[in-house]
Each structure stands twice: as C-alpha cells, then as structure tokens.
Amino acid sequence: MKLNYKIQGEGQPILFLHGMFGSLDNLNMLAKDFAPHYQTIQVDLRNHGLSPWSDEMNYDAMANDVAELCHELQLKNLIIVGHSMGGKVAMQLIRIVPEIIQKVVVMDIAPVKYLQSPNFDVIQSLEKCCSQHITDKKQIMHIMEQQGVNTATIYFLLKSFKNGHWLFNAKIIVKNYSDLSDWQAGAPSMKPILFIRGGNSTYIADQYLDTLFSQFPQAKIVTIEGAGHNVHAEKTAEVLTALHEFIENKI
C-alpha cells in the first residue's frame, strides 16, 4: 500500500508514526523541532489521514506498508518515533527490517495485549455512530458524552470529522479493534529503544515492565510526570528533551 507522507529537512532520517484516530500532523510539534538537522518523515498509516483505506487492519499489514515506504525512500540508519498504535507498528518494524533501523522511540504503549483498553468507550461510541449512520457533529458529541468519553478526547476525534464523515476508517478500526489491542511477543531484540510514558497514563503500567524487558532487554524508560496518554502534546518540551538525549546517546 502506498502511504501518504510528508518530508522535511535533510540528514539522518527520523520516521514519525501517529496513534489511532490520528494523522501525520499529530506529531508535527516533534518533527518540526528535528527538521533543521534531520530528515523527518511523517506518515499517515493505513485507514488514517490521506492514506488508502483497507479492510485489513493489523500490525503486520501496517508495518509492511511502512517497510515498503522505507524501501521506496531508500532509508538507512533510521530512527523511528511512534505514539500508541504507531509505537506498536515501530516495534513490529524492528522484527521485519532491523537492518535499516538504528534506534526506536515508543511513546506510551507497551508490547502487550490490552484486555481492558482505555479506548473502549471511544470504540463503543464509534460503533454506535457507524451503525446508525450518524453524520451530525452534535449527535456524535452527545453519544460520546453518554458513553463517558472525556471532553478532550471528543474534541480530538472531531478534528477528524469533516463534511459529515470521518477522515479515518471508523468502521474498519472498530471491526479490527481486537487485533489493534493485541500483541504477539517475538524473539528478544537488542535494538536500542526508549519508552516514554505519561505519569498519569496506564498504558505502560509497572505490571507490564517484565514483559517489556523480556522483549527489549536494552530498553530505557522515561516517565513524564503530569502527562497522560498523549504525552507528546501535553508535555512537548519534556518529550523533546528525552528524544534529543536518547538520539544523542546522553541516556
């Protein structure tokens, strides 16, 4: 699948992969900081942004899409930064194209299967909106409020609702949500990898650390206090500091 992407700058490539319901613009606050000294590549994953839609939605498919793009752009010595779903895609890429990857940064997601995902209320809301073919923003907001989706998340989602339809493939994301919550552990990787977690988030809870280190024995973990799941948006300066220190071998 040919993915939509945006390139800025020149130098060592840094690939930015957004989370579920997002688009390549979601990590722009990070990419623009690195663009003066690196080549930054921001990608719309399948079923998101301006990339094609498909009935298939799992980490093998998404990682293979990105690997195809890396091959097309002839990327080497690559740094990957992925948030949430994009972080799992990044970890999958370590398995399939390790030879082109130098380092990986995973923001607020663990290499585990989530049995009780914090996104469940969003998925229920989207399922209801899709099944009832709702095309009115006010009605969507009302349904999400009834399902207990917090206000910040509602406004984030509605940024991707234009002219009566979602810019992401809501129906297929809902249909394949169990696959997107899943994770199949593979052989341990010694690739340098940094996990950045929000101090107020449960996505990289302490209970997941043994599993995390069993798959990535060289992993480093930075906790950004006062931040939730969207740690890069809530505490941009602190995340940029962690990114620079990891990339420049200071941590």
Q: Which residues are catalytic?
A: 84, 229
SS (H, E, C) the chain: CCCCEEEECCCCEEEEECCCCCCHHHHHHHHHHHCCCCEEEEECCCCCCCCCCCCCCCHHHHHHHHHHHHHHHCCCCEEEEEECHHHHHHHHHHHHCHHHEEEEEEECCCCCCCCCCCCHHHHHHHHHHHHCCCCCHHHHHHHHHHCCCCHHHHHHHHCCEECCEECCCHHHHHHCHHHHHCCCCCCCCCCCEEEEEECCCCCCCHHHHHHHHHHCCCCEEEEECCCCCCHHHHCHHHHHHHHHHHHCCCC
